[in-house]
Amino acid sequence: MKTGIRSFAFFAIQCVSLCSLVRAEDAEVSAPVTRSREVIQVDGRERNYVISRPAVIIPGRPYPLVFGFHGYRGEVKAWMYDYTQFDALILDQHFIVVYPEGPVSWNSRSDSPDLKFFDQIVEELAAKFPVDRSRIYAFGHSNGAGFASSLLFSRKDTVAAVAAYAGIVRMRTAGPDDRKPPLFIVWGEKDEFAPAASDRVQSSVQAFRNAGYPVTFWAVPNCGHGWGGREQQMEEKILTFFFKHQLPAQALPQSMP
What are the respective helix, strand and coil percentages of the chain, to the nearest 5? 30, 25, 45
pLDDT of residue 16: 30
Domain that holds residue 111: 33-244
Judge contact between 222 and 190, C-beta under 8 A: yes
Q: What is the mean pLDDT of residues 186-213?
A: 94
Dist. CA 149–CA 162, nearest whole Å:
6
pLDDT bracket for residue 117 (50, 70, 90): very high
Q: What is the mean pLDDT of residues 195-223?
A: 95
Higher confidence at residue 6 or residue 51?
51
Indicate whether 195 belongs to any domain: yes
CATH number for the domain harbouring residue 163:
3.40.50.1820
Indicate whether 21 belongs to any domain: no
Dist. CA 72–CA 63, nearest whole Å:
29
What are the tens digits of pLDDT across the range 136-193? 999 999 999 999 999 999 999 999 999 999 998 888 876 667 899 999 999 999 999 9
pLDDT of residue 10: 32
pLDDT bracket for residue 77 (50, 70, 90): low
Indicate whether 180 belongs to any domain: yes
What are the tens digits of pLDDT across the range 121-139? 999 999 999 999 999 999 9
Judge contact between 72 and 142, C-beta under 8 A: yes
Indicate whether 65 belongs to any domain: yes
What is the number of structural domains in the chain?
1
pLDDT of residue 2: 43
Judged by DSSP in three states, 38 sits in strand
pLDDT of residue 247: 96
Indicate whether 22 belongs to any domain: no
Task: List the end-to-end C-alpha distance of the chain, in Å, as a whole number.
Answer: 36
Per-chain mean pLDDT for the chain: 84
Indicate whether 162 belongs to any domain: yes
pLDDT of residue 18: 30
What are the tens digits of pLDDT across the range 27-47? 344 469 999 999 999 999 999
Higher confidence at residue 13 or residue 97?
97
Dist. CA 214–CA 181, nearest whole Å:
7
pTM of the model: 0.84
Dist. CA 187–CA 177, nearest whole Å:
29
Indicate whether 155 belongs to any domain: yes
pLDDT of residue 250: 63
Among 13-17, 184-188, 226-230, the minimum mean pLDDT is found in 13-17
Indicate whether 210 belongs to any domain: yes
pLDDT bracket for residue 253 (50, 70, 90): low
Please enumerate, as own/partner, the contacts of 119-125 that have beta carbons within 8 Å and a separation of 24 or more: 119/155, 119/158, 120/40, 120/42, 121/40, 121/49, 121/67, 122/65, 122/158, 124/21, 124/40, 125/21, 125/51, 125/65, 125/96, 125/98
- Cβ neighbour number for residue 95 with a 10 Å cutoff: 23
